Amino acid sequence: MEESIVLGVPVNPKQARSKKTKEKIVQAAIRLFQERGYEKTTSNDIASEAGVSVGSFYVYFTDKRQLFFTIFDRRADELYKNIFDGLKPEHLFDSDLRRRIRSAVANTIADKQKLSGLHRVVSELLLKDADFAALHKVVMSRSMTKLHELISLAQKAGLTYEIDVEAAAFMLQRVVFDISQDYVTGCCEFDQERAIDALTDMIYRYVFKQRQV
């Protein structure tokens, strides 16, 4: 990511063997955070799951908190890429823009569902850890800035209605984020595909002028 609030800098190994060990620790932590949550997972548990000594764990990470911050940083980058690789400035002029918007919405939900337990930990830590809340704010700001950039470009090109670009970026991000979180936490039972279609239509019709075929 462009910005990071991870406390302390995790060791970034250069040798292939060390990189493999660090990655084993990361993947083990992801599995355990998924299954047990944050509080019930210890550094010793992670080391055992990874098949490494506790000493090896502390070579790469100061504690499980720093490790979780590192995982969140990585996941945020992956989600950002999955969404915005298919929504670049040149795509605003494509005839299949609606399909691209739908893919971005669907990818947001599907990406979070793959690691739903991890995202439940995110929701938990937001209320407990001020540093994590600050990191989360940076991530949210990054995606909102990108949405603002895209909508602003579309407006300058005459593709949108007369809308408040900043407010539109905020609303789009919040509604997609909140709905995706509801599906991840199991709060939402409405048919997911229909919800994605409806949300896509809302975004497309709210922001973009109807195009001549």
What is the token pair recorded at 33? 């955070």
Q: Is 130 a member of any domain?
A: yes
Residues of the domain holding 109? 16-207
Residue-wise pLDDT for 58-108, tens only, equals 999 999 999 999 999 999 999 999 899 999 999 999 999 999 999 999 999
Q: Is 99 a member of any domain?
A: yes
How many structural domains does the chain have? 1
Q: Which CATH number goes with the domain that contains 122?
A: 1.10.357.10
Q: Is 176 a member of any domain?
A: yes
Q: With cut-offs at 50, 70 and 90, classify the pLDDT of residue 1.
A: very low
Contacts of 209 (CB under 8 A, 6+ apart): 158, 159, 160, 161
Residue-wise pLDDT for 178-206, tens only, equals 999 899 888 888 999 999 999 999 999 99
Q: Is 172 a member of any domain?
A: yes
What is the token pair recorded at 149? 């950039």
